[in-house]
Structure 1
């Protein structure tokens, strides 16, 4: 699988680590309580089809990017810097 980093260009997916679906972009407030943080850390959906995921380009520019891809075909549909993503 190839991912196009907005800074470095197209790279092999082994340069990145996936941090999870876009739920990772919706962190609870620091004072949200134990249950909210437990759900955030431990519970994940496993969607089939198009999804947005947070990835880290650790073997490259160290950017955090949001990758849109199809979890069935692994086709990467787009990538953008996480800092520029509108929630």
Structure 2
């Protein structure tokens, strides 16, 4: 069981109060995008064993989307931050690198 904290309303609760929404920081493809770009957006997602940046929604709370960094192998949560943030905040990157010194964030393109 994950214990998550919503960065929008600051409620800490079990994961059942939230809903996962997949990979964070994806470049959305609009109507003018190519079929290849749209296919890559829909189907080619990261699914690592280890550190992953994800989208979550506080379904039974404020209803807002946010991003979270966690380790998919150990379920360790490194922190959460608002969905409008374009990159993981420095304090979350530091928390990740404390446990995984070689980890590098690759901005989704």
Q: Same fold (TM over 0.5)?
A: yes
Matched positions, count: 85
Q: TM-score, normalised by structure 1?
A: 0.84
* Aligned match of 1:60: 61
Instruction: Name structure 2 gaps, 5 residues minimum.
Output: 88-109
Instruction: Name structure 1 gaps, 5 residues minimum.
Output: none
Tell me the secondary structure at the aligned position of residue 3 of structure 1.
strand
Q: Deviations over 1:24-73 (max 9, x none)?
A: x3212431122211221122222111111011111111111000101110
More strand by share: 1
The structure that has the greater radius of gyration is 2
* Aligned match of 2:47: 46
Greater RCO (CA < 8 Å, at least 6 residues apart): 1
Map residues 1-16 of structure 1 onto 2, 5 A cutoff. Answer: 1-6=2-7, 7-16=9-18
- Residue 11 (structure 1) shift: 1.1
Partner Cα distance (2:80, 2:34) in 1: 32
* Aligned match of 2:23: 21
RMSD, aligned CA: 1.5
